[in-house]
Structure 1
Amino acid sequence: MHVSHLSLLAFTASQAAAVTLWATSYGDSGLGYGGVTSLNLDQSATGAYTLTATAFLNGTSSCGDQSSWLTKDSYNDVIYCVDEAWGLANGSITSLKPSANGSLVLFDKETTLASPVATVVYNGGAALVAAHYDTSAVTTWSILPSGGLKAMQVFQYKLTKPGAVPDRQDAPHEHEVILDPTGSFIVVPDLGADLLRIFAINKSTSMLSESSTYSVPAGTGPRHGTFLNTGNATYLFIIAELANTITSYSVAYTATGLSLTQVFISGAYGINVTIPAGAGAAEAILSPDHKYLLTSERHAASFQIANFDPKNSTKIPSDALIAWNIDPLTGKLSNAQRAPAGGMNPRQFSVNKAGTLVAVGLQDDGRVVIIERRGDGSFGDIVASVVVHGSPTSVIWDE
């Protein structure tokens, strides 16, 4: 356990005591180590944080052994978990209800196409949409009054030939589903087809319709992204796994859908920074104050950090988190700060509502860490950590 002692003032400002988080993890299906872990983040009167695993839902009896993503439905107080189900014919989407002690209780499980990797709730809590990586698909689900799901639509895609990176672009690979700020469109980065697929939402029925596609350069491999609405303009930020780029687009709303215009592009490690060999960009999210874009890079071991075992002086490798300043007038990014992610393969991470703490799932280390965020938007110290079952794939806050 790694803890940091902060001032009492920081303790008061962060309001982080007794917070629940949940983390998914991949596991070995034969051993059943994948699933969902409930975590408790406490802060003492001296300001020291402690992160503790309080409950574990084994994948074989809950979400699944390849649990890959969690979405909190704040409309219905439900947690949706997807099982990527490597090599199997079908995956699943599980509906979980938080209990008073922070553990999760399964009450609905629906079979779906295999390889769901991300979901988002849309249309005011009426429906859920999922991206499926290996099965090249997008599926939609009606959210029932109970919080359970009912299947609605399947959109499935094919390539006529492999893309510019044949071993990764052998087929379309839908990797995330991104809701626009107006709640009217879903954008799906397709890593395999080098497309951003845009869907319009029917507010009456929650049905999606294919609106348009936006092509990115061959071999880009768009993975994740996020929107920003400044009040005067809307921007879309897309991080690409294969080209290791971060791109800003100006968004225009037209009579037929969304129009995207590129306004900025950079290597995902920072402006004019050489990308380490083997690196793979992962996550891109907004800070709660919408002033910063926060991204992650994997497989490069950019840092050597102190061991989490205080008795072991051997340093351990760490990938990077990057904080970018956003120019609200242009959508351009600047002043990228690289900081240790706390270990290897930060597949996904999330920020608390106050914007003061970041929770990172480190897939290769079997660990979740909590990192401070400073007032200037940069990443600070690792203040808590815990080892969890399997290989963490996502972690979210119960706020």
Structure 2
Amino acid sequence: MYYSPLRLALGGLGLVTSSALATNLYVSSYSGDITSLRLSQSDNGSYALAVVATNRGSAPSPAWLEKEPGKGVVYCMDEGLPVPNGSISSYRTSPCGELTLIDRHTTISGPVSSVVYNKGKAMAAAHYGGSAVTTWNILPTGGLSPLQNFTFKLSAPGTNPGRQDAPHPHEAIVDPTDSFIIVPDLGADLLRVFSIDPATSALTPSKSFSTPPGSGPRHGAFSVSGCADIKNQECLASKADTYFFVVSEISNNVTSYKVTYGNKTLDFTEVFTTGIYGNQTTPVGAAAGEALISPDNKFLLTSSRNATLFSIPNFDSTNSTKIPSDTLQSWSIDHTTGKLSFRQSAPAGGSFPRQFSVNQKGTLVAVGLQLSSRVVIMERNPSDGTFGKFVAEVGVTGDVTSVIWDE
């Protein structure tokens, strides 16, 4: 492991910062590194973001980081772009931000997303390049052991042959009841559904749901009406309505579905769809990216890439050159219908906001800007769901693929 000299300054940070906020974040990039950041806040309220440690050569092309809340383990999906296979690694976290490798497994190529399920007993991964879904047992050490492999094929290319030459599972998502895994498949225009065996963590394929031809579903998120915490079992038992929101990369749409639970099956009924830019025309070449539900379950937050609708002041105050910026979007959720109302289009802080994440309070957003090789921190108003000003930023080596909070 390589340690940044800034790590040595942590003690100094303690002399000038308040204990109100000192948070670690982890960043993956195609440089092969996992970078640890420290976000601190001074007594006057200003923020600073610094690199505190770097795992050099963690894998050829880390694409996704996953951390279960309350657990001291980070999982890294390595896409394996320059090599035949991908890999999945687990790391032990530490208060100072250092990561220690627990184990690493070679796997089917192209893992780009993962999710912990079955009460923390297992993990599922979506493999874009390998046209697959894999599952893994989570060991008491935080390590992994292989459980299942599911591979998929197309009988013919999809509506967009350049993007839909094969199945391309893009994200693994667990439903609020922890009973199903849903995998948006960009290449096959499907929401693949798997039921979970709580005794063994094994998945069983269920009926898939077809999205519009050529839409290319990429990422999604669940919301449960009337539940401030969608994992609150008491709320879920009240039979509140469940909705699933899908961001489709090729069609650049956001779609709401009402979810109906059956016997080891899920059904999806479309209730709303719109362009990801809301009240604006979708720019040519745009590529819809992320989809998250706010911590209070009131807002859907999305991103779009390759369309620089904003020009923002340079983060370097001595540089007058403005920065072209792609966008984040905020949507309020009507829990009686599942429909969305467009709230805001905001600058993401640079180019290609492939992934972003929100802190537990919903007050800060960390954005990974792939082509800007940068992570920015921006304020967010939990009351109205809107994004605010940029409060900190730091450059990261390579194309940034994900950034997560350690809270």
Quickly name the TM-score band, shorter chain normalised. Answer: over 0.9
Please name the residue that 2:50 is paired with. 52
| CA-CA distance at 1:87 after TM superposition | 3.9
- Select which of 138, 141, 148 maps to 1:146: 141
Match of 2:309 in 1: 302
What is the alpha-carbon distance in structure 2 between the residues aligned to residue 55 and residue 65 of structure 1?
18
The SS at the match of 2:360 is coil
Q: Secondary structure at the match of 1:220?
A: coil
Alignment check: 8 A CA contact 1:153 1:207 kept? yes
Correspondence for 1:387: 395
Contact persistence 1:225–1:239 (CA under 8 A): yes
Conservation of the 8 A alpha-carbon contact between 2:60 and 2:81:
no
Paired AA for residue 385 in structure 2: G
Cα deviation, residue 51, structure 1: 0.4
- Conserved 8 A contact 1:163-1:169: yes
Contact persistence 2:328–2:348 (CA under 8 A): yes
2:291 is equivalent to residue 284 of structure 1: yes
Paired with 1:137 and 1:90, the residues of 2 have a C-alpha distance of: 12
Matching residue's letter, 1:50:
A
1:15-26 aligned at under 5 Å gives the runs 17-26=21-30
Distance in 2 between the 1:388 and 1:309 partners?
15
Residue aligning to 2:3 = none
SS at match of 2:26: strand
Look up the equivalent residue of 1:22 and give its one-letter code: Y
1:226 to 2:228 alignment = no
- For the Cα contact (< 8 Å) 2:60–2:82, is it kept in 1? no
CA deviation after TM superposition for structure 1 residue 35, in Å: 1.4
**Displacement of 1:389:** 1.4
Other structure's SS at 2:292 match:
strand
The match for 2:151 among 130, 153, 156 is 156
User: In 2, Cα distance between the equivalents of 1:263 and 1:178?
Assistant: 20
* Partner SS state of residue 312, structure 1: coil
Note if contact 1:75-1:124 (Cα within 8 Å) is conserved in structure 2.
no
CA distance in structure 2 between the partners assigned to 1:336 and 1:194 by the alignment: 28
Output the amino acid matched with 2:318: K
**Deviation string, structure 1 residues 201-247 (Cα, Å, up to 9, x no partner):** 00000000001100011110000000011242100000000000000
Tell me how far 1:100 sits from its aligned partner.
2.6
Residue 31 of structure 1: aligned partner? none
* Equivalent position of 1:67 in the other structure: 62
CA displacement at 1:74 relative to structure 2: 3.3
Q: Which amino acid aligns with 2:312?
A: I
- How large is the Cα RMSD of the aligned pairs? 1.3
Instruction: Return the letter of the residue paired with 2:274.
Output: S
Which string of whole-angstrom CA distances, capped at 9 and with x for unpartnered residues, describes residues 234-279 of structure 1? 00000000000000000011124111100000001114x2100100
Conservation of the 8 A alpha-carbon contact between 2:126 and 2:170: yes
- Cα deviation for residue 16 of structure 1 reads 5.9
Partner AA of 2:36 in structure 1: S
Question: Which residue pairs with 1:37 in the alignment?
Answer: 35
Distance between the aligned counterparts of 1:164 and 1:200, measured in 2? 28
Deviation at 1:336, TM superposition (A): 3.0
Matched residues in 2 for 1:321 and 1:166: separation?
28
In the alignment, does 2:54 pair up with 1:86?
Answer: no
Describe the shift of the 1:256–1:124 C-alpha distance in structure 2 as closer, same or farther (beyond 3 A). Answer: closer
| Paired AA for residue 385 in structure 1 | E
Per-residue deviation, 1:58: 1.1
**2:48 is aligned with what amino acid?**
T
**Which protein has greater RCO, CA pairs closer than 8 Å, 6+ apart?**
1
User: Which residue of 239, 261, 270 maps to 1:262?
Assistant: 270
Alignment partner of 1:217 out of 191, 212, 216: 212
TM-score (normalised: structure 2): 0.91
> Conserved in 2, the CA contact under 8 Å of 1:76 and 1:125?
no
Deviation at 1:65, TM superposition (A): 2.4
Q: Report the CA distance between 1:114 and its aligned residue.
A: 1.0
CA contact (8 A) 2:191 2:209 kept: yes
Aligned to 2:172: 177
1:71 Cα offset (Å): 0.4
SS in 2 for 1:17: strand
AA in 1 matched with 2:356:
F
Amino acid at match of 1:135: G
Q: How far off its partner does 1:314 sit? A: 1.2
Q: How does 1:314-325 map to 2 (within 5 A)?
A: 314-325=321-332
Tell me which amino acid in the other structure corresponds to 1:265. T
| SS of structure 1 residue aligned to 2:281 | coil
Aligned partner of 1:5 in structure 2 is none
* Aligned residue pairs, count: 377
Q: Secondary structure at the match of 2:206?
A: strand
